Structure 1
Amino acid sequence: MGKTVTGQRRQPKQDRATESRRRLLDAATQLFAERGISGTSTNRIAAAAGMSIGTLYRYFADREEIVSVLRNKVIGEIEHQVVSNVIAHFNEPPQETLTIAMRGVLTVLVDNAGLLRALIAESNLAGSGFAEFNRTLRLVCHGYLSGRLPPDTGADLDVMAYVVAHTCMMTCYGIAGGDAADQDPETIITATATMVGNWVEAAMAGAVVMAPSPAPPGL
């Protein structure tokens, strides 16, 4: 008969690799928040994760790759909150849809506040991945508006999508960044969603006409 194996089962290699990556990313997230990106070396990240520098380089080429992975993770979480909530609450009043989506975005921003401060402090927004995210957000808003507004409103959906996306996101950024520390976040979200939602609802009823701007002469 074969030997009976007792004790903890050996973790599969793929699971161990996933766990190692997670520990390194968690350590980097904390260090970036505390020391900034430029003040954090790969040696320090490896030590904080309880690993050798050689182990770190098995998973990441350099610190910049770690930054990129963390940045894309946060952006992906924000996009998920926006897209999933807009889809789930598509047919509800715009005020409600925007309120729920903004709550989800704010949760991600608050949970990753330290990392986001480090990214913004040491990366220009055009190169940090957030410019691409903002374009994606406008596309989501454009799709939402085109599905909710009747086709004969004459509304400029590009302009409306820009205003909706940036008004809501800047409100969330401001709350997460502490710009309104003396105010109740839920009150600010509700007020913003109501203001923007009322505008969208008026456009749905045909009360707001925003015709596309004419092209300059000669074009």
Structure 2
Amino acid sequence: MTSGQRRLQPRKQPRQVRAELTRKRILDAAAHIFTEYGYAAGTTNRIAERARISIGSLYQYFPNKDAILLELLTLHLEEGRAAMALGQDGELPESLEELLRVFIRAQIENHQDDPRLLRLMIEQVPHAPALLDRIQQYEQENFDYFRALFGRHPEVRVTDLDTATRLVLSTLHFGVHPLVAAPEPVDPVRLENEMVTMLSGYLKAG
């Protein structure tokens, strides 16, 4: 592990409830501070003050604010993974439109909590190898799942399922992220309806 990688690693992995709560307080405080002050002015001192802990206690968990931001983005990715895996443990709608709506809505809702923080994470997060590996794994899991889902759906008529799957997932990612995180975001209901119409029409076209 390089020194650059080490400086982005959390220093302390909580093993007790109290430690986990402290870590969560730091992350919650950082989300508020980064959103309120921006990343440059969102210092670790401000984060510690907001979390009501000493700066020394904060540094027991994270070496710097880059590591905190990286952890926030990692949690966001994990929430996205859960949102996109909705159908793995339960029944999905039969119609292609409603099937797509389930996943599109989940993706939009996952980005609505704090669009300003999402925009900041997209623009400022360090490009750490560990994060890039995690993103690649997340994207491969999504591809495998949706490739199989579209492959067995009777309404899907496209012949090149690999390309179609990548196009749908790219549209979900690059369509939802910037439109929800924009200074003037698109109405979520309208965005959901338009994306359902666009993607279902493409998959049915053959």
| TM-score tier after normalising by the smaller chain length | 0.7 to 0.9
Among 171, 181, 184, the residue aligned to 1:167: 171
Aligned to 2:194: 191
Aligned to 1:14: 16
Q: How does 1:64-79 map to 2 (within 5 A)?
A: 64-79=66-81
State the 1:124 CA deviation: 7.2
SS of structure 2 residue aligned to 1:39: coil
SS of structure 2 residue aligned to 1:110: coil
Aligned to 2:55: 53
In structure 2, distance between residues paired with 1:176 and 1:154: 29
In structure 2, distance between residues paired with 1:122 and 1:22: 21
Deviation readout 1:152-197 (Å, 9 max, x if unpaired): x88323211111011122332243124764x642122122112212
Deviation readout 1:52-95 (Å, 9 max, x if unpaired): 01111122222222112111001111111011246645562222
Q: TM-score, normalised by structure 2?
A: 0.76
State the 1:103 CA deviation: 1.2
Q: How does 1:1-219 map to 2 (within 5 A)?
A: 14-85=16-87, 88-90=90-92, 92-123=94-125, 129=131, 133=135, 136-137=138-139, 139-149=141-151, 155-178=159-182, 181=185, 184-202=187-205, 208=206
SS of structure 1 residue aligned to 2:111: helix
Instruction: Kindly report the root-mean-square deviation, in angstroms, between the aligned alpha carbons of the 2 structures.
Output: 3.1
In structure 2, distance between residues paired with 1:179 and 1:99: 25
> Do the aligned residues in 1 keep the contact of 2:111 with 2:118 (CA within 8 Å)?
yes
Q: Indicate how the Cα distance of structure 1 residues 23 and 179 shifts in structure 2: closer, same or farther if over 3 A, else same.
A: closer
Aligned to 2:5: none
Gaps of 5+ in 1: 1-12, 203-207, 209-219
Identity value in percent: 26
> Do the aligned residues in 1 keep the contact of 2:45 with 2:55 (CA within 8 Å)?
yes
Aligned to 1:217: none
Identify which range, 116-125 or 103-112, moves more after superposition. 116-125
Q: Indicate how the Cα distance of structure 1 residues 171 and 190 shifts in structure 2: closer, same or farther if over 3 A, else same.
A: same
Q: Indicate how the Cα distance of structure 1 residues 188 and 41 shifts in structure 2: closer, same or farther if over 3 A, else same.
A: closer
In structure 2, distance between residues paired with 1:87 and 1:160: 24
Gaps of 5+ in 2: 1-14
Q: Indicate how the Cα distance of structure 1 residues 200 and 54 shifts in structure 2: closer, same or farther if over 3 A, else same.
A: same
Which structure has more RCO (C-alpha within 8 Å, separation ≥ 6)?
2
SS of structure 2 residue aligned to 1:155: coil
Q: TM-score, normalised by structure 1?
A: 0.72
Kindly provide the amino acid, as one letter, of the partner of residue 196 in structure 1. L
SS of structure 2 residue aligned to 1:68: helix
State the 1:126 CA deviation: 8.8
